[in-house]
């Protein structure tokens, strides 16, 4: 497993089946990125289908901790609204945020999956700690400048790899 090599790659976070891709794979815990994974950078909202997916994941018995590099108060507001634990200012891919999030859930590497839209933060950080990582296409193309720069590099690394659940990263808002 390469540092930059996601274990699975999905066209949208909602394509991750709570039963087939989480529970059946032994994942009882999820460290979940926010920006452009569940929270649109365009609308600054969580799309309705993503909210439904979050409910389905929890219904399946998978514990979620939000793990965000965001420095603003947004992660805390969303965490309160969604009633989920959160680690913000995580400085992904550095390990301490992952460790804090994992500790909040009482989780181990083996039963935890990291889900996010960036190779160089979400995926690399997961792999540094021996956790599996599911990469998802960003909800929208719009993003912070430095993130967009990183995405060019990440696209090159992904090459022709096609996400599960779509022909390509299409159908985004």
Q: Is the alpha carbon torsion for 35, 88, 32, 118 positive or negative?
A: positive
- Least Å distance, CB 156 to Mg ion, is 18
Footprint on residues 64-123 left by Mg ion (CB under 5 A): 117
Collapse the DSSP code of 112 into the 3-class scheme (helix H, G, I; strand E, B; otherwise coil) and give the result. strand
C-beta closer to Mg ion: residue 22 or 136:
136
CA 106/CA 45 separation, integer angstroms:
29
CA 54/CA 3 separation, integer angstroms:
27
Collapse the DSSP code of 169 into the 3-class scheme (helix H, G, I; strand E, B; otherwise coil) and give the result. coil
C-beta closer to Mg ion: residue 107 or 136:
136
| Near Mg ion by CB under 5 A: residue from 36, 40, 70, 132 | 36
- Least Å distance, CB 92 to Mg ion, is 9
Q: Which residue has the tokens 């219904």?
A: 59
41 CB contacts (<8 Å, ≥6 apart)? 35, 138, 139, 140, 142, 143, 144
Counting residues that bind Mg ion (by CB under 5 A) gives: 5
Task: Report the candidate in 1, 6, 8, 30 with the shortest Cα–Cα distance to residue 121.
Answer: 6
C-beta closer to Mg ion: residue 19 or 141:
141
- Least Å distance, CB 121 to Mg ion, is 7
Residue number with the smallest Cβ distance to Mg ion? 35
- Least Å distance, CB 24 to Mg ion, is 26
CA 22/CA 111 separation, integer angstroms:
9
Q: To which H or E segment does residue 127 belong?
A: helix 124-128
Binding segment toward Mg ion, per CB under 5 A, in 33-41, 77-85, 103-111, 160-168: 33-41
- Least Å distance, CB 171 to Mg ion, is 18
| Near Mg ion by CB under 5 A: residue from 6, 18, 29, 33 | 33
Binding segment toward Mg ion, per CB under 5 A, in 9-17, 35-43, 80-88, 165-173: 35-43
User: Residues interacting with Mg ion, by CB under 5 A?
Assistant: 33, 35-37, 117
């Amino acid at each position: 497993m390469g540092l930059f090599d996601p274990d699975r790659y999905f066209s949208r976070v909602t394509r991750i089946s709570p039963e087939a891709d989480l529970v059946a794979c032994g994942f009882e815990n999820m460290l979940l990125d926010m920006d452009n994974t569940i929270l649109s950078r365009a609308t600054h909202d969580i799309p309705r289908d993503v909210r439904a997916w979050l409910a389905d994941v929890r219904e399946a018995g998978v514990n979620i901790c939000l793990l965000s590099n965001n420095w603003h108060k947004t992660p805390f507001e969303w965490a309160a609204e969604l009633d989920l634990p959160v680690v913000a200012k995580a400085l992904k891919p550095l390990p301490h945020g992952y460790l804090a999030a994992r500790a909040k859930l009482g989780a181990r590497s083996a039963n935890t999956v990291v889900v996010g839209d960036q190779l160089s933060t979400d995926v690399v950080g997961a792999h540094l700690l021996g956790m599996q990582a599911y990469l998802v296409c960003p909800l929208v193309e719009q993003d912070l400048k430095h993130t967009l720069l990183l995405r060019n590099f990440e696209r090159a690394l992904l090459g022709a790899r096609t996400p599960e659940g779509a022909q390509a990263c299409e159908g985004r808002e």
